[in-house]
């Protein structure tokens, strides 16, 4: 077989359909291989197949035909189809999650604003307003409301800047009331420490505490 490869696994079989091969011929050869598997294994147990397509993303029609072909054989089931490249939807979501947003406007009391990615607050967040980001929040403007970084469950996020006037700081599922934390002074950053508590440190300690994040900032 030149257009498709079938390999046995502990939990079933792996089907490889190389991207450079003709898909029609791959299906024809796959039919022959599946017939051979069926002839050698006449049990009623369910046999799982994982499909690899290399650097080719199957179209909806190709996926349907592939599933239909394997489904012709009783107790045969495709449990996974993966490629070595990402589809447009996945790429778009990834780029969106890594975006950097500048927020120059005022977020007023009662408003709740969410951004995918990092946020630099240039404007102001009024008391009673909430600014949320899936990653980090960097404060340049005035904040009197609530800042929620790492929404909803990113515990690696930080909130950095002059945080003294903020009402609350939230990262992932943790909440800090700033008025209850007199150690929050000047230019600092809040993060989740190894004990899963909110902690505050000087911005000069960012490199030591968050070396990966510091390196990313240097590269931007």
**Percent of residues, the chain, with pLDDT higher than 90:** 60
Cα separation, 75 vs 83, in Å, equals: 24
Better-predicted residue by pLDDT, 175 or 11: 175
* pLDDT digits 0-9 by tens, 68-77: 999 999 999 9
* pLDDT digits 0-9 by tens, 32-56: 999 999 999 888 889 999 999 987 8
CA angle 30, 31, 33 (to 5 degrees): 60
- Predicted pLDDT of residue 220: 57
- Predicted pLDDT of residue 51: 95
Backbone angles phi, psi at 168, to 5 degrees: -140, 150
CB 158, CB 182: distance < 8 Å: no
- Residue 20 clears pLDDT 70, i.e. is over it: yes
Cα separation, 69 vs 86, in Å, equals: 24
- Residue 10 clears pLDDT 60, i.e. is over it: yes
- Predicted pLDDT of residue 218: 60
CB 27, CB 64: distance < 8 Å: no
- Predicted pLDDT of residue 182: 79
pLDDT bin (cut points 50, 70, 90) of residue 88 is: low
* pLDDT digits 0-9 by tens, 193-218: 999 999 999 888 888 999 888 777 76
Better-predicted residue by pLDDT, 187 or 84: 187
Cα separation, 190 vs 161, in Å, equals: 9
* pLDDT digits 0-9 by tens, 102-130: 899 999 999 999 999 999 999 999 999 99
Residue with tokens 């609530």: 146
Domains of the chain by residue range: 5-85, 91-219
Q: Where are the alpha helices (DSSP H) in 46-169?
A: 60-71, 88-97
How many other C-beta atoms lie within 10 A of the C-beta of residue 190? 26
91-219 under CATH 3.40.720.10, yes or no? no
Q: What is the mean pLDDT of the chain?
A: 88
Residue with tokens 């070396």: 211
Cα separation, 166 vs 6, in Å, equals: 60
Backbone angles phi, psi at 175, to 5 degrees: -130, 135
* pLDDT digits 0-9 by tens, 160-170: 988 989 999 99
Cα separation, 167 vs 180, in Å, equals: 10
- Predicted pLDDT of residue 179: 80
- Predicted pLDDT of residue 98: 67
- Predicted pLDDT of residue 186: 74
Beta bridge partners of 190: 159, 200
């Amino acid at each position: 077989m030149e257009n498709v490869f079938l390999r046995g696994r502990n939990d079933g079989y792996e089907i490889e359909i190389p991207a450079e091969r003709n898909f029609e011929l791959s299906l024809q050869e796959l039919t022959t291989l599946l017939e051979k598997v069926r002839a050698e294994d006449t049990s009623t147990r369910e046999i799982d197949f994982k499909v690899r397509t290399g650097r080719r993303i199957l179209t909806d029609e190709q996926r349907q035909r592939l599933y239909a072909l394997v489904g012709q054989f009783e107790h045969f089931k495709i449990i996974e189809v993966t490629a070595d490249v990402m589809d447009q939807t996945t790429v778009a979501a990834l780029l969106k999650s890594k975006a950097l947003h500048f927020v120059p406007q005022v977020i007023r009391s009662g408003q709740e604003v969410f951004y995918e990615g990092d946020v630099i607050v240039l404007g102001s967040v009024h008391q009673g307003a909430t600014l949320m980001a899936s990653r980090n929040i960097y404060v340049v403007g005035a904040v009197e409301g609530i800042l929620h970084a790492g929404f909803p469950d990113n515990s690696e996020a930080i909130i950095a800047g002059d945080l003294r006037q903020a009402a609350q700081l939230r990262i992932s599922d943790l909440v800090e009331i700033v008025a209850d934390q007199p150690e929050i002074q000047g230019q600092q950053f809040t993060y989740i420490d190894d004990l899963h508590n909110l902690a505050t440190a000087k911005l000069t300690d960012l490199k030591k505490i968050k070396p990966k994040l510091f390196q990313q900032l240097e590269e931007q």
